[in-house]
Structure 1
Amino acid sequence: MKSYEELVAEAEAAPLAKWDFSWLGRRLIESETPWSYPDRADELVTGADGPVLDMSAGGDDPATADATLPFPDDRFAVLLSQHDPYQVEEVRRVLRADGVFLTEQIGGLDGLAINEALEAPLPSGASERALNTARAELEQAGLKITTARTAFPERLFHDIGALVYYLRAVPRQVPDFSAEKYDKELRLLHDQMSAGEPFRDRAVRFMIEAVRQ
């Protein structure tokens, strides 16, 4: 069994990729949502009778949410956004009448067990990123909601390296994270996981499909 120091050092040196945790293998296990965003997105793209825009390329940068899209009004038959910010008025502007907007987002209360275990501050704006808020904003902008679902998949970390890697890959969870700063709390979790008890966390996901009227 690798030591705490070895697991942390490996996690800190490992390459990162956006929302790709394949480096961890089965060390991090997250249950699936009851829906498949990729499958529904494929259905919409295949059935589209006009241009399609996948907005899921802006990264996890909050500034993207305020960006003006470089497209004319009423341009797209389908807009897609997975795990990325969007500006509601821009969605309405570039989506044509009867066009469809599909988004899957991470709820603001995602991963709070991590913050609690580390005694770390909650992510900024956590309470604002929720299904009801997103739904109300889209409806106010003139879109009709056809699907709105929330899920709470379980997330299991089987060693401390997996948790350190995750927090590097998802910096919004604990913005001031470093293994040195949270050494005491991480070592307590390491002892727990080394004894065969994984660290249990909960993801929060919501999906909305809406039509511009």
Structure 2
Amino acid sequence: MNSQEYKQFYDTVGALNGWDFSQIRCSSEGVEWDFYDQVSRLCTASDVLLDIGTGGGESLLSTASHAALLVGIDLSHTMVETARRNMQRTAISNVRFAQMEAESLSFPSEFFNIISCRHSPFHASETARVLTEDGVFLTQQVRECDKANLVQAFGRGQSLRPDGSLKEQYTKELQLAGFRNIHYAEYDAVEYYEREEDLIFLLKHTPIIPRFGQEKDDFRILQQFISDHRTDRGIRTNAARFMMIARR
């Protein structure tokens, strides 16, 4: 997908679902961390936090008690609308949501103590600009080898670059932006989707297989994939992630 196709995709998903995948029945082996748990651990009660690519705001709202003010931004206006609806269902008052591009942040310099970004592009120089001296930036991204057996089955995926390419790109960009002490971690976990509908929901609401359901052979391929990868625990695939933590 190009950037315009991604935006249209996220607008559609944002209106329907946000990033709420709680209804999916899925178990995992080998997950090394929970990203927003890592974010919460680095927060102090007086911090101002920015979450880039906040989606429906579900994860940011779950961390609201760990900082003084939290701001979630997303390029999709429907994601932001969903996030605001999600907040209205709570008693949380210290979270704000706004539609905004990551490469053009409408905030003063050195405004945030901590910035998080999960599974979303970011602009290293803009991130550095709005982060305080000695502020912390955390990002979790999807590795290129994620859902490898699905990508092989369908012959297309959200990334066909060699594994590690995005890590190298972001490392260089962060270094050029003045970040230091860049720590890196990765995992490649096994996932089991309990039911066919769980896997279909995932594929329809993420860009793992671009244009899933629009190609004439997609559901034939999916049925063969399920047959080939069904186990006693569920339909087997993988979840590959990396995390970077850096200080300005």
TM-score, normalisation: structure 1: 0.75
Structure 1: segments with no counterpart, 5+ residues: 1-14
Q: Which moved more, 1:124-133 or 1:93-102?
A: 124-133
TM-score (norm 2): 0.66
Quick check: 2:52–2:74 contact (8 Å CA) kept in 1?
no
Task: Tell me, in whole angstroms, the C-alpha distance in 2 between the residues paired with 1:41 and 1:75.
Answer: 17
Equivalent residue in structure 1 for 2:27, among 26, 29, 32: 29
Instruction: Work out whether residues 55 and 81 of structure 1, in 8 Å CA contact, stay in contact via their aligned partners in 2.
Output: yes
Q: Name the CA distance, whole Å, in 2 between partners of 1:133 and 1:191.
A: 37
Aligned to 2:51: 54
Match of 1:200 in 2: 236
Q: Deviations over 1:1-55 (max 9, x none)?
A: xxxxxxxxxxxxxx95344322222xx22335222322221122226x5532222
Q: Within 5 Å, give how 1:37-76 maps onto structure 2.
A: 37-46=35-44, 50-57=47-54, 58=73, 67-76=103-112
Task: Work out which of the residue numbers 153, 156, 174 in structure 2 matches 1:117.
Answer: 153
Output the amino acid matched with 2:49: V
The match for 2:210 is: 175
Q: How does 1:127-142 map to 2 (within 5 A)?
A: 127=162, 130-142=166-178
State whether residues 140 and 244 of structure 2, in contact with CA within 8 Å, keep that contact through their aligned partners in structure 1: yes
Q: 1:142 to 1:177 in 2, by over 3 A?
A: same
Q: Which residue of 1 aligns with 2:61?
A: none
Which protein has greater RCO, CA pairs closer than 8 Å, 6+ apart? 1
155-164 vs 195-204, greater mean Cα deviation: 195-204
SS in 2 for 1:175: coil
Structure-2 change in CA distance of 1:20 and 1:139 (3 Å): same
Aligned to 2:70: none
How many aligned residue pairs are there? 191
Q: Which has the larger radius of gyration?
A: 1
Name the Cα RMSD after superposition: 2.9
